[in-house]
Amino acid sequence: MRTMRDILREQEFFAGISDAHLDVIAGCASNARFDAGTVILREGESADTFWLITHGQAALEVFVPGRGPVVVQTIESGEALGWSWLFPPHRWRYDARAVDLVRAIAFDGRCLREKADADHDLGYELMRRFAAVVIDVLAASRLQLVDVYSHAGSR
């Protein structure tokens, strides 16, 4: 039988991380499932979880007045959803919705923050990985802003 550590070891997101750190991370992990259309996270709400998508897609959305929800980025299998759990004030900055059936590994953000505070090497590994997630979201947001403003000028 495969353990959570075995499953995490297969994920590119955790490539190169030590077995000891993977054991700690696995202790904060559980399986999750979201049906198509389910809101996974909502802007402004408490952020104490992140997910590693293992199947399906989730849409990261921002509400644009006069236009409604705009998809900023689509998170796919192998990618992490949610980074606000790591940074105070631990509130979601976007909405996310399951595009189709999503299976994921859910990580307890409070658990991981406590573990990272106690082991700064683990904290560095998590920060390094999530800095890349934040950069990807910012780049996708920038592209969406260009699109929103280019359509606004053509009205």
Q: What is the pTM of this model?
A: 0.85
Q: Quick check: 153 pLDDT over 70?
A: no
Q: What's the pLDDT at 68?
A: 86
- What share of the chain in percent tops pLDDT 90? 68
Q: Quick check: 120 pLDDT over 60?
A: yes
- The count of structural domains within the chain is 1
Indicate the pLDDT class of residue 131, thresholds 50, 70 and 90: confident
Strands 49-55 and 80-81: antiparallel
| 26-49 average pLDDT score | 97
Q: What's the pLDDT at 67?
A: 80
Please answer whether residues 44 and 92 qualify as being in contact, where contact means their C-beta atoms are separated by less than 8 angstroms: yes
Q: What's the pLDDT at 143?
A: 59
Q: What's the pLDDT at 149?
A: 57
Domain containing 125: what range?
4-152
CATH number for 61:
2.60.120.10
- In whole angstroms, give the CA distance from residue 45 to residue 95: 9
